[in-house]
């Protein structure tokens, strides 16, 4: 399945309020985002919860690649560097320079 097809299916689910099964209430949050890289070298950086916010995980995507990321008890924020489409339950936004 291509990244574009995955992205479109997830967009459909957001628009039609599809239910997504949760794996484990303690470790998996119900909020997640979909990031589709529009250029090579897009960075996704997971940031921790707690008193001090720190980077705890990074991923690098090439053009056309899609990553689905969930907010968890450890991940409170994500930083995205580079040109990418980001899909959330609140809508779609494009990151990077225009």
Q: What is the pLDDT of residues 12-66, one digit of tens each?
A: 666 666 555 444 444 444 678 899 999 999 999 888 877 777 778 889 999 999 9
Per-residue model confidence (pLDDT) at position 19: 53
**What pLDDT is attached to residue 97?**
74
User: Could you tell me the CATH number of the domain that includes residue 31?
Assistant: 2.60.40.50
Enclosing domain of residue 79: 3-95
Residues near 8 by beta carbon (within 8 Å), at least 6 away in sequence: none
The count of residues in the chain is: 98
* Number of separate helices (H) and strands (E) present in the chain: 1, 7
pTM of the entire predicted model = 0.67
Q: How many domains does the chain have?
A: 1
pLDDT digits (tens, 9 = 90+) for 73-96: 777 788 899 999 998 888 888 998
Measured in degrees and rounded to the nearest 5, phi and psi for residue 7 equal -60, -45
- Please enumerate in sequence order all residues whose Cβ is within 8 A of that of 60, keeping only pairs 6 or more positions apart, or say none: 41, 42, 43, 44
């Amino acid at each position: 399945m291509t990244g574009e097809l995955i992205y479109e299916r997830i967009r459909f689910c957001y628009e039609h309020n599809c239910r997504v099964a949760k794996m484990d209430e303690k470790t998996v949050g119900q909020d997640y985002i979909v990031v589709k890289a529009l250029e090579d070298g897009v960075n996704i950086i997971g940031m921790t919860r707690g008193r001090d916010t720190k980077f705890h995980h990074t991923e690098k995507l090439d053009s056309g690649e899609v990553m689905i990321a969930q907010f968890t008890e450890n991940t409170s924020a994500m930083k995205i560097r580079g040109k990418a489409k980001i899909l959330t339950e609140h809508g779609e936004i494009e990151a990077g320079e225009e």
